[in-house]
Structure 1
Amino acid sequence: INASLPSDSTSSPSVTPQVILIDVREPAELKSTGIIPSAVAVPLASQPDALFLTPDEFETRFGFPKPGVAELAAAAKRGERGPELVFYCKAGVRAKAAAQLAAQAGYDPERIGVYGGSWLDWMERGGKVEKWEGSGYE
């Protein structure tokens, strides 16, 4: 796993087309706290096979495209590296496990990151929050 965004960094992770934020907290947590804007929710404790699904299976289950697949294909056509997947949870423990799962699922370990301070750090820094609308996979 390449990148780690420690909680003592000078800034929270930037959300750009080259960074895909993946929130691995469970639906109940997301409903009570919200989610970082532009992040996608993939609750890996209750859906541990999520990153191993085919793109079609993933979209059927979660209602949105599998993170990184379209972006990687587009980057490859341009001769570029794809986006970095940055995982977060409440405090960072589940995010680290999710990063390991992503590597096992075939994502490029050099393009996998962990937001070390995760949700707690985001809130402490006054980061923006969106209400989580949820999907049918609860």
Structure 2
Amino acid sequence: MLSAPTRRSIARLSAGAVKSIGSSGTTPVACTFSVTNATLRKAAAAAATTAAAAQQPQVPAQRAFSTAVRPRNTTRTTTRAARAARAAYYSQEAQGKGNKGAENKIWAFEEIQTLIEDPNRKVIIIDTREPGELHQTGRIPTAINIPITTSPDSFFISEDEFEDRFGFPRPSKDSEVVFYCKAGVRSRGAAGLAREAGWEKVGEYPGSWLDWAARGGKVER
């Protein structure tokens, strides 16, 4: 059944068609009905289309799809970078101010030499240089290698992750450790990070490898 607006539209079109035919006086009656019927059919179809469109639910415009890629979680990278920055700070402190007033125990060449000869030693010597440097020069006997430049988070990760990374257990927090590097700068940074991570018995060998080699210290390769 046609709606009220549709019926009104048909009525207006019918009236207009009849008026047009009557004014000419030449259009046959059959033609009048033909024109009127065609016009009515078109009007009905147009009105039905309009009514159907009006009844269709309005679909809200879709939001433009965002192609922005979510950034990766950089928390770990940022944390590692922050620790590297702190290591650099400790190292600069050692380079600019020396070791005066440092909380860490300061070891001399003779003490390190005595330490490596002690079969009952409980102090762990840690070389903080990069593996390539150790490959070129060797190391102080019994020293383990924890490179501070490329692994500043070594004292903050889990024990399992540490062992997976380096292939040996990390010194426990209640053990005494002494750090050295090439010239005493990176070892100061490593000592600072170890203290920050909870190690308390921390020492440094400021002369480090340059002093050790110059004095004829034993070398382990």
Q: Give the TM bin, normalised by the shorter chain.
A: 0.7 to 0.9
Within 5 A, what are the aligned runs for 1:18-57? 18-57=122-161
Q: CA deviation at 1:12?
A: 4.2
Within 5 A, what are the aligned runs for 1:22-101? 22-67=126-171, 69=172, 82-101=174-193
Identical columns (%): 52
For 2:179, what is the secondary structure of its paired residue?
strand
Aligned residue number for residue 198 of structure 2 = 106
Alpha-carbon deviations, 1:48-70, whole Å to 9, x = none? 11111111111011000002x1x
Name the structure where strand makes up a greater proportion of residues.
1
Q: Which has the larger radius of gyration?
A: 2
Q: Is the 8 A contact 1:12 1:122 kept in 2?
A: no
RCO (CA 8 Å, sep 6+): is it higher in 1 or 2? 1
Alpha-carbon deviations, 1:73-125, whole Å to 9, x = none? xxxxxxxxx432000000100000110000011111xx100001000111112
Q: Which runs of 5 or more structure 2 residues have no equivalent in the other structure?
A: 1-102
User: Aligned pair 1:3/2:93, yes or no?
Assistant: no
Name the structure where helix makes up a greater proportion of residues.
2
How many residues were matched structurally?
114
